[in-house]
């Protein structure tokens, strides 16, 4: 028995990192998965990996900042699988820079993908969940919603907004038996963090050592660490959990 047997899941940002690991894990646990991403090659590769192992997955190209794309994605998932049980709003981008270093274009881009993307995707999927009086929405926040970190002003604002939006959505959707929760990872070693290290440190290897030292556990998390947390929230094991942040940060919030 898989922990998501019979469930249909949409995962945005499924082509890379945490989304990719979650798609592979959800499929292994019995979910039928629709992966959405702006990166076609990576998304198709993950869908193929799942089907090769006997699972059921589809890739749908989708920019979460486009209401046309998000509506098309929701329709495509329902046409293929007749339902949507789990929406994992995982797609996100980094904004590196302090207030002085961040220009308006970067601010707008980070807020568009990380905040408006979740709003649009949820708006597109909610009617299908409301109709069936069931559903789970998982919003990707970050431990940066609770802990100050250097030179991340746009990113921190976006993830704080995701956390607050999650609390509000949890209230609005409770009457429809839809649970809404947030996942708050610390620093997770994915291509996202590799890009951050390249942009922020003259020596990315030294940068990696430095950000690993600030974890109580002395290492960064893996995409699989976060995928397992998302699996729990997506499953019926979390039936009494709504409006909550699940922090998976290797001790970041308890240190330094
Ligand atoms: N890696 C970390 O340390 C960390 C920590 C906390 C939170 N997060 C969050 O986890 C999520 C996944 O991050 P990751 O580390 O796996 O990054 P990643 O860069 O490996 O994957 C992000 C994916 O989102 C996709 N994406 C970007 N913009 C999109 C758009 N407009 N529409 C659709 N897809 C889009 C990218 O193409 C990519 O495939 C993000 O929301 C990120 O903010 C990451």
Q: How do residues 128-158 score in pLDDT, each as one tens digit?
A: 999 999 999 999 999 999 999 999 999 999 9
pLDDT band at 215 (very low <50, low <70, confident <90, very high): confident
pLDDT at 254 over 90: no
More confident residue, 118 or 211: 118
Q: What is the pLDDT of residues 67-94, one digit of tens each?
A: 999 999 999 999 999 999 999 999 999 9
What is the per-residue pLDDT for 32? 98
Secondary structure string (H, E, C) spanning 188-214: ECCHHHHHHHHHHCCCHHHHHHHHHHC
Which runs of consecutive H residues, i.e. helices, occur in the chain? Answer: 17-28, 40-52, 67-81, 104-111, 117-132, 153-174, 191-200, 204-213, 223-234
Q: Which CATH superfamily is domain 8-186+222-239 in?
A: NAD(P)-binding Rossmann-like Domain (3.40.50.720)
| Alpha carbon of 99 to ligand 1 centroid (Å) | 22
- Ligand 1 atom with minimal separation from the 190 CA: 15
- Ligand 1 atom with minimal separation from the 92 CA: 41
Q: What is the pLDDT of residues 150-198, one digit of tens each?
A: 999 999 999 999 999 999 999 999 999 999 999 999 999 999 999 989 9
pLDDT band at 9 (very low <50, low <70, confident <90, very high): very high
d(CA 205, CA 197): 8
d(CA 37, CA 241): 28
- The pLDDT of 198-212, averaged and rounded, is 92
| Alpha carbon of 189 to ligand 1 centroid (Å) | 12
| Alpha carbon of 78 to ligand 1 centroid (Å) | 24
Distances (CA, A) of 93 to 64, 155, 199: 12, 8, 14
- Ligand 1 atom with minimal separation from the 195 CA: 19
Helix or strand or coil: residue 133?
Answer: coil
d(CA 183, CA 143): 9
Q: pTM for the complete prediction?
A: 0.98
Average per-residue pLDDT in the chain? 96
d(CA 30, CA 36): 19
What is the per-residue pLDDT for 255? 60
- The pLDDT of 242-255, averaged and rounded, is 89
DSSP conformation class of 97 = B
- Interhelix angle 223-234/17-28, rounded to 10 degrees, is 50
What is the per-residue pLDDT for 214? 82
Q: What is the pLDDT of residues 172-181, one digit of tens each?
A: 999 999 999 9
What is the per-residue pLDDT for 162? 99
128 is a catalytic site residue = no
Handedness of CA 86, 42, 106, 211 (dihedral sign): positive
Q: Which of 155, 196, 201, 232 is catalytic?
A: 155
**High-pLDDT (> 70) share of the chain, %:** 99
Domain locations in the chain as residue ranges? 8-186+222-239, 189-220
- Ligand 1, pocket residues at CB < 6 Å: 12-13, 15-19, 37-39, 42, 62-65, 90-93, 113, 117, 140, 142, 185, 187-188, 190-193
Handedness of CA 148, 152, 157, 162 (dihedral sign): negative
Instruction: Tell me if 120 sits within 8 A of 70, measured CB to CB.
Output: yes
| Alpha carbon of 17 to ligand 1 centroid (Å) | 7
Distances (CA, A) of 204 to 34, 74, 89, 93, 210: 34, 39, 29, 19, 10
């Amino acid at each position: 028995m898989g922990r998501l047997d019979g469930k249909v899941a949409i995962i945005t940002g499924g082509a890379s990192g945490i989304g990719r690991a979650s798609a592979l894990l959800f499929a292994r646990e019995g979910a039928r998965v629709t992966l959405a991403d702006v990166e076609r090659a990576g998304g198709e590769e993950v869908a193929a990996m799942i089907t090769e192992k006997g699972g059921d997955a589809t890739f749908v190209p989708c920019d979460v900042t486009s209401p046309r794309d998000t509506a098309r994605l929701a329709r495509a998932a329902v046409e293929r699988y007749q339902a949507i049980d789990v929406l994992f709003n995982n797609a996100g981008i980094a904004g590196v820079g302090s207030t002085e270093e961040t220009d308006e274009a970067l601010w707008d881009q980070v807020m568009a993908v990380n905040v408006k993307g979740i709003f649009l995707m949820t708006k597109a999927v909610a009617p299908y969940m409301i109709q069936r009086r069931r559903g789970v929405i998982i919003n990707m926040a970050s431990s940066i919603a609770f802990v100050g970190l250097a030179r991340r002003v746009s990113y921190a604002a976006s993830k704080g907004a995701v956390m607050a939006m999650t609390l509000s959505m949890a209230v609005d959707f409770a009457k429809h038996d839809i649970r809404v929760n947030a996942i708050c990872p610390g620093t997770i070693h994915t291509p996202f963090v590799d890009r951050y290290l390249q942009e922020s440190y003259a020596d990315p290897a030294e940068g990696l050592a430095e950000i690993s030292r600030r974890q109580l556990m002395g290492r960064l998390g893996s995409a699989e660490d976060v995928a397992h947390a998302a699996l729990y929230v997506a499953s019926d094991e979390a039936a009494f959990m709504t409006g909550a942040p699940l922090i998976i940060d290797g001790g970041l919030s308890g240190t330094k």
